[in-house]
């Protein structure tokens, strides 16, 4: 959802199929950018991100991964760099494929489900009607955080968005 917002804001079409991802090139905040939405199961995201990273000869600091996080309440954002996967299987897959954690992550809080709901099933569900407005706002704020990472220091981004 965050990639869709960024694409719309900056007029980037995310339609080209590359390495099992929908991709699009453009400029965001004055920087050349590649937006990618892996089209594999989340826990295999690295199989798209790794080859794209190599194909475009990216530096680790060039990668920003945006992902949901059940350990953050709905509406919270955390921006981190070179952090572990935190149990997130999609991030784990990316780390495994890249062989390092030297990239930025924008963690988007979706909240933890109440038992007996399985967290894996929970994150695949659409937002509840009473969450939709807050979810739309958090997606916009996460896109803002990605844009800010292109122009501000990590510390400044964290102070602004945490």
pTM: 0.93
Give the HSE-up count for residue 59: Cα atoms under 13 Å, Cβ half-sphere: 2
Which domains, ranges and CATH numbers included, belong to the chain? 2-161 (3.40.50.1470)
Instruction: Provide the token pair at 124.
Output: 């695949």
What pLDDT does residue 113 have? Answer: 85
pLDDT in tens, 46-76: 999 999 999 999 998 899 999 999 999 988 9
């Amino acid at each position: 959802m965050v990639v869709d917002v960024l694409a719309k804001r900056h007029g980037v079409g995310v339609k080209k199929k590359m390495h099992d991802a929908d991709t699009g090139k453009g400029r965001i905040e004055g920087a050349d950018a590649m937006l990618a939405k892996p089209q594999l199961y989340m826990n295999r995201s690295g199989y798209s991100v790794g080859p794209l990273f190599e194909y475009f000869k990216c530096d680790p600091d060039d990668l920003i991964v945006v992902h949901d996080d059940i350990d953050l309440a709905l509406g919270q954002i955390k921006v981190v760099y070179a952090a572990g996967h935190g149990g997130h299987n999609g991030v784990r897959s990316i780390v495994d494929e890249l062989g390092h954690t030297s990239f930025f992550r924008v963690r988007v809080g979706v909240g933890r489900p109440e038992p007996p709901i399985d967290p894996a099933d929970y994150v695949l569900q659409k937002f509840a009607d009473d969450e939709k407005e807050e979810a739309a706002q958090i997606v916009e704020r996460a896109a803002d955080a990605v844009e800010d990472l292109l122009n501000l220091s990590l510390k400044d981004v964290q102070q602004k968005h945490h």
